[in-house]
Chains A and B, each alone.
Chain A
Amino acid sequence: MARLLGPLLVSPALIVILLLFMVPLTASVIGAFEVEGAYGLGNFTKAYDFYTQDIVFTAVIVGLSTVLTGLLAIAIGGYLTLGENRAAVAILRWLYRWPMFIPFIVVGQVLRTFLAKSGLLNSTLVAFGLLDPLTATSYLDWRGVVVAFVWKQTPFVALMVSGAMASLDRGTIEAARNLGASRLRILVEIVVPQVTTTLLVGLVLSFVTMMGVLSVPLMINAQAPTMITADIAFRLSTYRDYGVANALGLISLAISAVAAWFYLRVNMRQGR
């Protein structure tokens, strides 16, 4: 009886995951190969013909956002760990977290107003004399999507990275500092190599999250080329075409799998 209690208590939650996640996920994989009642690659050729540009666009945008997120997270975590001015460190610690809990749909709306032609970004640049009002343009294209992703994901990765950096052995850092190494060099050569695993976990999670976000491309980049998520929504709302939608979904799963594989490979090499 006692041996059965554990599995019994876990099973309701597991059944929900099975029915509402595993089953639809399997259905999406099978559906991608279903063409008018038979199985074949028709959906993929259609997806390739119509959406190659968007697939490349998605991979590049999400990849670029991931790289920028990683660099900013290292910079923030590095200053929090190695910064010598307590007031500046405290200000940064208070400042950087704000966007973390703001939902993507709200991120889309606030950045849509901020990055618009008459948004606060352009008016501030004009006020500082950094931008000529006549050449002001809106940033609501691929740049807006990248800004939205980096804005939202950096605090999350920076939080993970700075936590890992804080638990490092201070001895080596102090020793390098005493030998006269600059803080930038300590960050690049001593601190970052020791937190690579945490950094990569945060970046892979961010990559997958960005691949699945629908609201940001719909709100910020409602033009061609756009992201795969927006194409899937369009394919369904306009044609009810589940075949091509599932094929595009499988392609976005495959792109995420490449990111996860990259993470595993780097991790294995580290373990050796």
Chain B
Amino acid sequence: MSAPTASLAAPRDLGFVRNLLWWLPRAAVLGALAFVIFGPLLNLLIWTVAERWYFPHALPIDYGFSYWGRVFAPRGNAVQSLVASISIAVFTVAGSLALAIPAGYALARLKLPLRNLILLAFLLPQAFPNLPVYVNIARLFYEIGLNGTVLGVVLVHVTHGLVYAVWIAAAAFSAVDRDLELAARNLGASGLKAFADVTLPLAAPGLMASAIFVFLESLDEFTGSYFVGAPDVTTLPLLLYSAGAGGNYQIASITALLLLVPSIAFMLVVEKFLRADVLAKVGQ
């Protein structure tokens, strides 16, 4: 009786052991990948609480939060940059949505000659290296007095953000069931009322996603702000750059962390806002 049981169990044990052994290379590769991804982020976190750290010490000599106090001092430039960055991003979102909601609706629902060409036009700012364009925007803005103003930086960010705003808005509107709009029209609602009461609320999650995209793009944008804004308008990325260039890695790292938190938070929730049915219609 005992012999068959043993011969049945043996292969299963062998398979189990083999699977366990496979975890050695798997763990090595995944561990190395985790180190490559999280190592740099951990290094940044250490810098934010390092008081003194220099070669050849593997870890900081003193830890503390004195640099945090300096960054968040009421009159420190970090608070100023934070306010500048957030207000520029808010204006940018407002501007891009004001342009993208009508454009997205027209692309999704109305008769439009050269529709695909128009969709492509919004992609252009992403399809060329941006630097030569920013250089010449700065030159044009300099002549009309927009260089070094918040409005100038907002305009540059709006142009860059329009591709996300228009493409996602168009996808969000085409994902809305057309029958619901027709039902509202049949019940006597005007075109504008049907849009405001039915289409717009149903497209809201997609529009929210595009707003977050544009907000983050604006918050993180460096090259355009560097040419058009600096030195009069200092955003967080510009502060990060100048602190790092001045050798102050603590201030640079704390600023980097401030920029990192919204980006990672967005990565974790993006799928809630950008539903698959909207995503499937992007670029169509």
Q: State whether B33 touches A96 (Cβ < 8 A).
A: yes
Query: Which residues of chain A are near B124, meaning CB under 8 Å?
Result: 17, 21-22
Let me know if A160 is at the binding interface, CB within 8 A.
no
Interface residues on A, range: 35 or more
Interface residues of B in 201-240 (CB under 8 A from A): 216, 219-220, 222-223, 226-227, 237, 240
Interface residues of B in 262-278 (CB under 8 A from A): 263-264, 266-267
Q: State whether B126 touches A205 (Cβ < 8 A).
A: yes
Q: Which residue of B lies closest to A113 (CB)?
A: B43
Q: Which residue of A lies closest to B50 (CB)?
A: A113
**Given known A-B contacts A3-B111, A16-B99, A101 and B135 have beta carbons under 8 A apart:** no
Q: Which residue of A lies closest to B213 (CB)?
A: A101
Interface size of B by CB at 8 A reads 83
Query: Which residues of chain B are near A104, meaning CB under 8 Å?
Result: 220, 222
Q: What separation, in Å, do the CA atoms of A2 and B111 have in the docked complex? A: 8
Q: What separation, in Å, do the CA atoms of A106 and B255 have in the docked complex? A: 9
Q: State whether A113 touches B140 (Cβ < 8 A).
A: no
Partner of B131, one of A23, A100, A252: A252
Minimal beta-carbon separation of A33 from chain B (angstroms): 13
Query: Which residues of chain B are near A95, meaning CB under 8 Å?
Result: 30, 33-34, 37
Minimal beta-carbon separation of B132 from chain A (angstroms): 3
Minimal beta-carbon separation of B253 from chain A (angstroms): 7
Minimal beta-carbon separation of B133 from chain A (angstroms): 5
Let me know if A173 is at the binding interface, CB within 8 A.
no
Q: What separation, in Å, do the CA atoms of A124 and B38 have in the docked complex? A: 13
Query: Which residues of chain A are near B245, meaning CB under 8 Å?
Result: 218-219
Q: State whether A20 touches B159 (Cβ < 8 A).
A: yes
Q: State whether B132 touches A109 (Cβ < 8 A).
A: no
Partner of A14, one of B40, B121, B263: B121
Let me know if B172 is at the binding interface, CB within 8 A.
no
Q: What separation, in Å, do the CA atoms of A9 and B155 have in the docked complex? A: 19
Let me know if A114 is at the binding interface, CB within 8 A.
yes
Minimal beta-carbon separation of A239 from chain B (angstroms): 13
When each residue 151-184 of chain B gets 1 if its CB lies under 8 Å from chain A and 0 otherwise, what string results?
A: 0000110110010001000000000000000000
Q: Which residue of A lies closest to B260 (CB)?
A: A106
> Main SS of the interface on chain A?
helix
Interface residues of B in 88-121 (CB under 8 A from A): 99-100, 102-103, 105-107, 110-113, 118, 121
**Given known A-B contacts A21-B159, A24-B140, A25-B136, A9 and B103 have beta carbons under 8 A apart:** yes
Q: State whether A246 touches B135 (Cβ < 8 A).
A: yes
Q: What separation, in Å, do the CA atoms of A2 and B241 have in the docked complex? A: 50
Interface residues of A in 198-220 (CB under 8 A from B): 205, 208, 211-215, 218-219
**Given known A-B contacts A101-B264, A133-B56, A212 and B35 have beta carbons under 8 A apart:** no
Query: Which residues of chain B are near A268, meaning CB under 8 Å?
Result: none
Query: Which residues of chain A are near B43, meaning CB under 8 Å?
Result: 110, 113-114, 119-120
Query: Which residues of chain B are near A212, meaning CB under 8 Å?
Result: 128-131, 223
Let me know if A60 is at the binding interface, CB within 8 A.
no
Q: What separation, in Å, do the CA atoms of A21 and B162 have in the docked complex? A: 11
Contact segment of A37-45, A47-55, A85-93, A183-191? A85-93
Q: State whether A113 touches B263 (Cβ < 8 A).
A: no
Q: What separation, in Å, do the CA atoms of A6 and B267 have in the docked complex? A: 34
Q: Which residue of A lies closest to B223 (CB)?
A: A214
Let me know if A145 is at the binding interface, CB within 8 A.
no
Partner of A218, one of B220, B241, B256: B241
When each residue 239-258 of chain B gets 1 if its CB lies under 8 Å from chain A and 0 otherwise, what string results?
A: 01100110001001100100
Let me know if A103 is at the binding interface, CB within 8 A.
yes
Q: What separation, in Å, do the CA atoms of A271 and B159 have in the docked complex? A: 34
When each residue 35-51 of chain B gets 1 if its CB lies under 8 Å from chain A and 0 otherwise, what string results?
A: 11111111110110000
Can you give 27 contacting A-B residue pairs, CB < 8 Å? A2-B111, A7-B113, A10-B112, A12-B103, A20-B158, A21-B159, A28-B135, A85-B19, A91-B30, A98-B264, A102-B264, A109-B44, A109-B256, A113-B43, A113-B249, A120-B40, A120-B43, A151-B36, A205-B127, A214-B223, A214-B226, A218-B241, A229-B129, A233-B131, A249-B132, A253-B132, A256-B128
Q: Which residues of A contact B (CB under 8 A)?
A: 2-3, 5-7, 9-10, 12-14, 16-17, 20-25, 27-28, 31, 85, 88, 91-92, 95-106, 108-114, 117-121, 123-124, 126-127, 133, 151, 205, 208, 211-215, 218-219, 229, 232-233, 236, 242, 245-246, 249-250, 252-253, 256
Which A-B residue pairs are the 6 nearest by beta carbons?
A: A249-B132, A103-B220, A212-B129, A6-B110, A24-B136, A9-B102
